[in-house]
Amino acid sequence: MADHVEQIEEQDQQASQREENRSPSRADVEAERRHSNPRRKRTIRFIVLAILVVALIVSIPIYAYYSVRESTDDAQVDGHVVPISPRIAGTIIAVLVNDNHPVKAGQELVRLDPTDYQLAYDQAEAQLAVAEAAVAESSVNVPLTSINTRGQVRTTTTEADQYVAGVASAQQAVDAARARLNSANATLTEKQANYLKAQKDLGRMKDLVEKDEISRQEYDAAVAAADANAAQVESAKADVVEAQHNLDQAIAEVQQARARLATAVEQRRLSEQVKPEQEAVSAARYKQAQAQVQQRQADLNQNKQNLEYTIIKAPVDGVVSRKNAEPGMQVSPGQQIMELVPLDDVWVTANFKETQLRKMRVGESVEIEVDTYGSGRKYRGHIDSIAAVSGARVSLLPPENATGNYVKVVQRVPVKIVLEPGEDRDHRLLPGMSVVPTVLLNSGGGK
pLDDT tens per residue, range 266-281: 777 777 666 677 667 7
Which of 26-30, 37-41, 212-216, 301-305 shows the lowest mean pLDDT across its residues?
26-30
**pLDDT above 50 (res 1):** no
Return the amino acid letter for 230. A
Q: Which residues contact 377 (CB under 8 A, 6 or more apart)?
A: 370
**pLDDT above 60 (res 35):** no
Q: Mean pLDDT, to the nearest integer, of 396-411?
A: 71
DSSP 23: -
**pLDDT above 70 (res 298):** yes
> Which of 356, 379, 368, 377 is closest to 441 using CA atoms?
356
- Residue 228 phi, psi (nearest 5): -65, -40
What is the Cα–Cα distance from 251 to 422, expressed in whole angstroms?
A: 112
> Which of 146, 141, 144 is closest to 275 using CA atoms?
146
Could you count the other beta carbons within 10 Å of the beta carbon of residue 107?
Answer: 13
Please count the CA atoms within 13 angstroms of the CA of 13 that sit on its side-chain side. 8
What is the Cα–Cα distance from 385 to 366, expressed in whole angstroms?
A: 13
Beta-bridge partner residues of 385:
416
**pLDDT above 90 (res 416):** yes
**pLDDT above 60 (res 236):** yes
Model confidence pLDDT, tens digit, residues 57-67 = 776 666 555 55
pLDDT band at residue 9 under the 50/70/90 scheme: low
Return the amino acid letter for 5. V
Q: What is the longest distance spanned by two Cα atoms in the chain?
A: 245
What is the Cα–Cα distance from 229 to 4, expressed in whole angstroms?
A: 190
Which of 21-25, 120-124, 301-305 shows the lowest mean pLDDT across its residues?
21-25
What three-state secondary structure class fits 419?
Answer: strand
Quote the pTM value.
0.58
**pLDDT above 60 (res 32):** no
What is the Cα–Cα distance from 311 to 304, expressed in whole angstroms?
A: 12
What is the Cα–Cα distance from 425 to 419, expressed in whole angstroms?
A: 11
CB-based contact 314:49 (threshold 8 Å): no
pLDDT band at residue 263 under the 50/70/90 scheme: confident
Provide, rounded to the nearest whole percent, the portion of the chain with pLDDT above 70: 75
Q: What is the pLDDT of residue 24?
A: 47
Question: Where would I find the beta strands (DSSP E) of 19-173?
Answer: 69-71, 75-79, 82-84, 90-95, 102-103, 108-112
Provide, rounded to the nearest whole percent, the portion of the chain with pLDDT above 90: 34
CB-based contact 289:202 (threshold 8 Å): no
Could you count the other beta carbons within 10 Å of the beta carbon of residue 296?
Answer: 20
Model confidence pLDDT, tens digit, residues 300-353 = 999 999 999 999 999 999 999 999 999 999 999 999 999 999 988 899 999 999
Compute the mean pLDDT over every residue in the chain, rounded to the nearest whole number: 79
Return the amino acid letter for 240. V
Q: What is the pLDDT of residue 142?
A: 65
Q: In b/e form, how buried is each residue of 55-74, taking b as 16+ CB within 10 angstroms? A: eeeeeeeeeeeeeeebbbee
Between 165 and 43, whose confidence is greater? 43
pLDDT band at residue 14 under the 50/70/90 scheme: low
**Please, what sign has the CA dihedral across residues 244, 249, 253, 256?**
positive
Q: Mean pLDDT, to the nearest integer, of 10-18?
A: 58
Rank 156-165, 181-190, 334-343 by mean pLDDT and report only the highest. Answer: 334-343
Q: What is the pLDDT of residue 327?
A: 94
What is the Cα–Cα distance from 31 to 338, expressed in whole angstroms?
A: 93
**pLDDT above 60 (res 224):** yes
